[in-house]
Every structure is written in C-alpha cells, then in structure tokens.
C-alpha cells in the first residue's frame, strides 16, 4: 500500500521540479562543450555540409527559438549568401544560439548569450534577408552552434512618384501537431481497461506545450467499472528524451466525474529524423477529484504508447 503512494508522490514531484527549469540569459565561456555539430568546422564546405545534413534539426531549433517563419528564407538564401570569417570579441552578444547538450539529444535554444571567454573565438558570418530585415548569423568553428547575432532594418528605396503600398506583417503561429495514444489501465480494487485517444499538441514556448485529447476507456475486467468517454487537457514540459505532464479530464463513466491526471513520457530515439523520435512510452495516473483519498484503490494507472505525426 505504501509503495503505491510512493509511486504517485514521485510522479507529482517530478512535475513540480521541472516546472522551474529553462534556458534564460547566459554567459558562454567555452566553445565546443555542447556542440550542435561535430567535428569542428574548418572550411566553408564544412558549414554548407552542416546546413545540408541538419535540415530537420535546424527547422526544429528555429521553431523553438520562435523564428519558424524565418527558416524558409534561411534555407532558400543560404546556398548563395556570402560567407566570411570573423572574430567574436569578449563581451559581444547573440540573441539566441542552437546547441545540443554535450552534443547529443534534442536541439535546445540558449537566449541572450554573451561571450565571456578571455580570448576571441573564430566564426563564420553570413546574412539572411526577410521582410525588410537583415538577420546576421554567426557559427563558431569549434561547435557549429548556429546563432542569431543581430537584426537590422534594411533601407527601402521608394520608387519614383508612386509610393509602395504599406506592408502588413501577420505574426505566424508556432505549428502544432496531431498525436494518438493507446494502452492498458488498471485500478487496484481491481478493474482493467483498454484505452485509445487522439489529440492535438500546441507548442507554447521553449519546451512547453498544451495537449488536448479525446477518446475512450473500454472496460475489460472487474465487477464495478464501466466503459467511459474521456476528454483530457494537459500542460507538458519536455527535456532530453523525457516529458512530464499534469492536467485534468472528464470521465463519462460512473455518472460522470472530473479527473486529475499526471503522466511521464520517454521518447524511444534521440534521432530527430527517425520515426522512433516521434514514438514515446507513456505512463499515466488519473483519479477523480472527489476520490483522491481513495486513490490507492480507485485511481487508474495506465501504460501505453504515444505517437506524434
């Protein structure tokens, strides 16, 4: 009995512990500790190979940086843009930088990065133009961490006599995606269920997202339970290959009730180009709000698979 309470407590602590984690302003003092690309870049050809072979990682990184609408222009203009070598001096800043923790796992974004090393570091520099703005990118030789250094307005020369029409820039929302999950659930009184749901995930910022799900739990075994329709909503935080979520849902069985839900996901692969990166093992605990005192008997513990399209 105490073991069941311990499992539920661990899940809750994991969620609360991760809620305060994130990447804010930082001072970078070493190059190559968490490279986006390896081996180190030595020539322009190496840089072009990086962009050609890491298209999926770059697209993901731009999205996490809140610049998903900039990536199409980046991909189109990079092959013909002028590339030059520069030195980044101590104290210079970058708006954001893409990296992978120790060179592995999902793409992460560091914001408001200041170079705090004792000596300058060498990097490639090039420019991308979009919507009358020029975006200055730098890529350090030693780590391949693509970074946005600065954004400046491009001077527009008006045509003689006829003024150009005003340009309305409509902010682009971050793309979401569909997902499905399914598996088996169990209560300790005992009852067993098979569940299946379909839903949609909406990214918020950094590693946060909101997931909405609808589906059903089919009653398989036991004397008291019954099949139910469910409609769930969860706030999820992701880091490395793990995700934790917490939220609520409606359970139509037993006369209808509101549930509290906690879950943990583990992605099966770190390769963003693999279907297994979109597949996760799912562990979920749910219990009716008015039955938390009997969670050990009536709470539903589920194990299954979740797939993102």
| 114 within some domain | yes
Interval 13-53: pLDDT, tens = 333 333 333 456 889 999 989 999 988 999 999 999 999 99
The residues, any chain, with a CB within 8 Å of residue 124's CB and separated by 6 or more, are 41, 44, 47, 83, 84, 85, 86, 138, 139, 141
Interval 74-121: pLDDT, tens = 999 999 999 999 999 999 999 999 999 998 999 999 999 999 999 999
Domain check: are 135 and 185 in the same one?
A: no
CATH of the domain at 248: 2.40.160.20
The residues, any chain, with a CB within 8 Å of residue 154's CB and separated by 6 or more, are 129, 132, 133, 134
Number of domains into which the chain is organized: 2
Domain check: are 121 and 206 in the same one?
A: no
| 142 within some domain | yes
| 112 within some domain | yes
Q: Residue 204: what pLDDT?
A: 86
Domain check: are 85 and 135 in the same one?
A: yes
Q: What is the pTM of this model?
A: 0.46
| 43 within some domain | yes
Looking at residue 250, the DSSP 8-state letter turns out to be E
| 159 within some domain | no
Domain range for 224 is 2-18+174-308
Domain check: are 231 and 288 in the same one?
A: yes
Domain check: are 187 and 142 in the same one?
A: no
Rounded-to-integer distance, Cα 285 and Cα 246, Å = 10
Domain check: are 115 and 178 in the same one?
A: no
| 166 within some domain | no
Domain check: are 134 and 231 in the same one?
A: no
Edge to edge, the sheet with strand 93-99 lists 25-28, 108-115, 93-99, 147-153, 133-140, 121-130, 84-88
Q: What percent of the chain has pLDDT over 90?
A: 62
Cβ burial of 259 (10 Å; 0-12, 13-18, 19+) is buried
Domain check: are 94 and 12 in the same one?
A: no
Q: How far is CA 120 from the centre of its chain?
A: 32
């Amino acid at each position: 009995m105490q073991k069941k309470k311990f499992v539920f407590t661990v899940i809750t602590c994991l969620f609360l512990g991760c809620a305060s984690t994130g990447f804010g302003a930082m001072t970078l003092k070493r190059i190559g500790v968490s490279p986006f690309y390896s081996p180190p870049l030595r020539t322009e050809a190496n840089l072009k190979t990086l962009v050609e072979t890491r298209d999926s990682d770059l697209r993901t990184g731009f999205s996490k940086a809140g610049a998903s609408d900039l990536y199409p222009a980046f991909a189109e203009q990079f092959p013909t843009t002028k590339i030059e070598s520069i030195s980044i001096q101590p104290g210079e800043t970058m708006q954001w930088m893409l990296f992978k923790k120790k060179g592995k796992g999902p793409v992460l974004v560091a914001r408001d990065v200041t170079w705090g090393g004792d000596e300058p570091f060498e990097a490639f520099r090039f420019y991308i133009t979009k919507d009358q703005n020029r975006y200055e990118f730098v890529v350090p030789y030693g780590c391949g961490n693509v970074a946005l250094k600065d954004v400046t307005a491009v001077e527009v020369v008006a045509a003689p006599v006829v003024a150009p029409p005003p340009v309305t820039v409509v902010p682009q929302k971050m793309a979401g995606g569909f997902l499905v999950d399914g598996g088996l659930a169990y209560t300790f009184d005992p009852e067993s269920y098979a569940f299946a749901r379909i839903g949609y995930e909406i990214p918020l910022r950094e590693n946060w997202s909101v997931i909405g799900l609808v589906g059903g739990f089919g009653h398989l075994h036991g004397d008291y339970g019954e099949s139910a329709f469910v409609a769930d909503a969860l706030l999820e935080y992701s880091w490395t290959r793990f995700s934790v979520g917490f939220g609520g849902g409606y359970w139509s069985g037993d006369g209808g009730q509101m549930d509290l839900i906690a879950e943990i996901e583990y992605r099966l692969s770190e390769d963003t180009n693999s279907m297994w990166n979109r597949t996760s093992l799912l562990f979920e605990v749910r219990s009716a709000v008015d039955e938390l005192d009997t969670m050990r008997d009536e709470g539903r513990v589920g194990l299954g698979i979740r797939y993102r399209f």
